[in-house]
Structure 1
Amino acid sequence: MRVLTVLARASVLALASSLASNSVRGADLGPAPVYYVYYKAPPIEPDSPWMIRLRVLGVLPDTAGSSVNVAGTPSLSSPSSGLSLSDRAIPELDITYFFTRNVAAELILGATRHHISGNGVLTGLDIGTAWLLPPTLTLQYHFTDFGQFKPYIGAGINYTAFFNQSAANASLGGLAVTDLHIRNQFGAAVQFGFDYMLDRHWGLNFDVKKLWLRPEYSATVNNAIAVTGRANIDPWLVSGGVAYRF
């Protein structure tokens, strides 16, 4: 009888221990965990490869090295004398076409009127004025890894047409430029800039270009003295404005 009693008590204790262990395990596990999976939305691509920009453009000529050759008068010729061109600011439109997300071509359109004067021994001599039409086509690479900030670099070609050229006919020390002609010229161009896109279509733009433009020119002083040379215009084109991507 004693043996049966001991076995019964052992069975009850084992059953109670098993129930308590299972209860603790259930409490430790708690509710089933919830897992969240996040998906990054793909970037919104523009509907069209076309972009236009309307900017204020500053044309800043760098005329260092321009030459002046006055027939029969070495004292008035280079290196004692040179040319100066005035800076100008104008509204400007450019059109850009994206071949891919990164590669694009840009064409800028605008015309500027510049005042030409002498320097060195010709300082104060009013030579005249000319309009410049410098359409410039560049091939660009746009960096697209910086979110809304989209920098780019480019290089291309410029063709500058000079029109409405007018001699000053203003006398200085008995000298007056009575005729002026500047030849049209091709030149190289490089650029860098960025677009900061405010939304899918609108953005802000800043752009800098450097043109190498060195046309030959001819002039006449006092209706008789021939003047020839090369105008090293080499302008910086600095612009800022708004962009619209279709």
Structure 2
Amino acid sequence: MNKLLMAVLTSAAMFATPAQAQDDDRSLQVKLLGTYVAPDGKITEFRTDVVGLPATTQTKANDNIVPTLAVEYFVKPKFSVETICCLTQHDVDGVTGVPGAELVSKAKLIPATLTAKYHFGAANVRPYLGLGMTYFWWIDVDPGADTIPLGVTRTTLSDEFGFVLQAGTDIAIGDSGFGLTIDAKRYFVDTTARWYSGDALAIETRHQLDPWVLSAGASYRF
């Protein structure tokens, strides 16, 4: 039994070691992912309220599924830096105080993100942990349908810096460079929402976004 186990381990090492060496020679990896974005969106502070919203008013941003492109550069075999490219869109609705009211419509966000990652594990299955920074850039925000009758003409969400935690696994398929990947990120970032009537500020609130961003897809390392 010991001899058989030793033979199996030796054979596995013979197959795994070349794959590891070949992967280490490839410094760039691209990933095409399907991504589930699940933000919070709750109000953490009322700063201005000319309209007179109910004291119990609370909000929630809707979830979304979007395509994502990730580009990763390996500085060393176990250390890499990664950035992502995606555009996600969200509405913000009332959940208490004004339940069901659409307050923000079609808010389009580019979550510019850069993480540093540490990889570990076997040659073909390599989990990783990451930590990085993000900048939430809102490129288009519309007033919610239920705010327009109140005289709201313009809505904005402030661009903000934040940080992100990351964990995932890369799974190599053979030694061609192709593989599968699963990835989870937790962002920590806020935004300030403002609703205007003409040039006058009617409502200003601070919101906790802190989205979970869960991805899975295909990768190629070259």
TM-score (normalised: structure 1): 0.75
Residue 27 of structure 2 corresponds to 49
Q: How far apart are residue 118 of structure 1 and its match? A: 1.8
Q: How far apart are residue 68 of structure 1 and its match? A: 4.0
- 1:61 touches 1:234 (CA, 8 Å); kept in 2? yes
Greater shift, 110-119 or 204-213, is seen at 110-119
Which structure is richer in relative contact order (CA contacts within 8 A, separation 6 or more)? 2
Matched, 1:196 2:174: no
Residue 63 of structure 1 corresponds to 41
Change (3 A) 1:224 1:186: closer
Q: How far apart are residue 213 of structure 1 and its match? A: 1.4
- 1:68 touches 1:81 (CA, 8 Å); kept in 2? no
- 2:41 touches 2:92 (CA, 8 Å); kept in 1? no
Residue 7 of structure 2 corresponds to none
Q: Which amino acid aligns with 1:194?
A: T
Q: What is the CA deviation profile of residues 47-66 of structure 1, one whole-angstrom value per residue up to 9, with x for unaligned ones?
A: 42000000000100123454
Matched, 1:210 2:189: no
TM-score (normalised: structure 2): 0.83
Matched residues in 2 for 1:209 and 1:180: separation?
Answer: 28
Matched, 1:154 2:130: yes
Residue 120 of structure 1 corresponds to 96
Matched, 1:179 2:135: no
* Structure whose CA Rg is larger: 1
Q: Which amino acid aligns with 1:137?
A: L
Q: How far apart are residue 167 of structure 1 and its match? A: 0.7
The DSSP-based 3-state class of the residue aligned with 2:40 is coil
Change (3 A) 1:75 1:164: closer
Residue 60 of structure 2 corresponds to 84
Considering fraction of residues, name the structure with more strand.
Answer: 2
Q: Which amino acid aligns with 1:59?
A: V
Q: Which amino acid aligns with 1:226?
A: A
- 2:47 touches 2:206 (CA, 8 Å); kept in 1? no
Change (3 A) 1:118 1:220: farther
Q: Which runs of 5+ in 2 are unaligned?
A: 1-9
Q: What is the CA deviation profile of residues 63-82 of structure 1, one whole-angstrom value per residue up to 9, with x for unaligned ones?
A: 345434552566524xx112
Alignment of 1:16-31 (within 5 A): none
| Alignment RMSD | 2.4
Identity %: 26
Q: Which amino acid aligns with 2:34?
A: V
The DSSP-based 3-state class of the residue aligned with 1:162 is strand
Matched residues in 2 for 1:229 and 1:166: separation?
Answer: 16
Matched, 1:103 2:46: no
